[in-house]
Amino acid sequence: GAVVSQHPSRVICKSGTSVKIECRSLDFQATTMFWYRQFPKQSLMLMATSNEGSKATYEQGVEKDKFLINHASLTLSTLTVTSAHPEDSSFYICSAVPGTSVSEQFFGPGTRLTVL
């Protein structure tokens, strides 16, 4: 149980385009989802906390107008990287917390974004 999917798994785009990444909890409802970014040889850095039906909470230094998060249902959160630039190239990973869980997060397989 507790499976989280992400789509797409890999995306290559031109600079200036917007990219949407979906995160789905497949067999549970997730009131809270998280979006992380991981640059090569670095750890996961939390970008934002996504709560179903409310605005996302962004970590310090993360531009909310550039990284748009929508958590419209209990099983889906989306991250849109607007006007992507090469420095946004990274591994984006989401995680989800089941409503009954105090602390365990379940991670999606990640999306590798390359901006040319």
Partner 1 sequence: RKEVEQDPGPFNVPEGATVAFNCTYSNSASQSFFWYRQDCRKEPKLLMSVYSSGNEDGRFTAQLNRASQYISLLIRDSKLSDSATYLCVVNLRGTYKYIFGTGTRLKVLA
Nearer to partner 1, 44 or 74 (CB): 44
* 111-115 and 10-13 beta bridge pairing: parallel
CA distances 84 to 20, 31, 104, 109, Å, are 11, 28, 31, 21
Among 13, 45, 68, 76, binds partner 1 (CB under 8 A): 45
Nearer to partner 1, 46 or 82 (CB): 46
- Assess 58 for contact with partner 1 (CB under 8 A): no
- Assess 49 for contact with partner 1 (CB under 8 A): yes
Smallest gap from residue 57 Cβ to partner 1 (A)? 10
Taking the CA atoms of 28, 34, 37 and 42 in sequence, report the sign of the dihedral they define.
negative
- Assess 91 for contact with partner 1 (CB under 8 A): yes
- Assess 109 for contact with partner 1 (CB under 8 A): yes
Residue 96's beta-bridge partner residues? 33, 106
Q: Radius of gyration over alpha carbons of the chain, in Å?
A: 13
CA distances 63 to 54, 88, 89, Å, are 17, 12, 15
Question: How many of the chain's residues bind partner 1 (CB under 8 A)?
Answer: 22
Among 11, 81, 97, 115, binds partner 1 (CB under 8 A): 97
For binding to partner 1 (CB under 8 A), which residues are involved? 32, 34, 36, 42-46, 49, 91, 93, 95, 97, 102-105, 107-110, 112
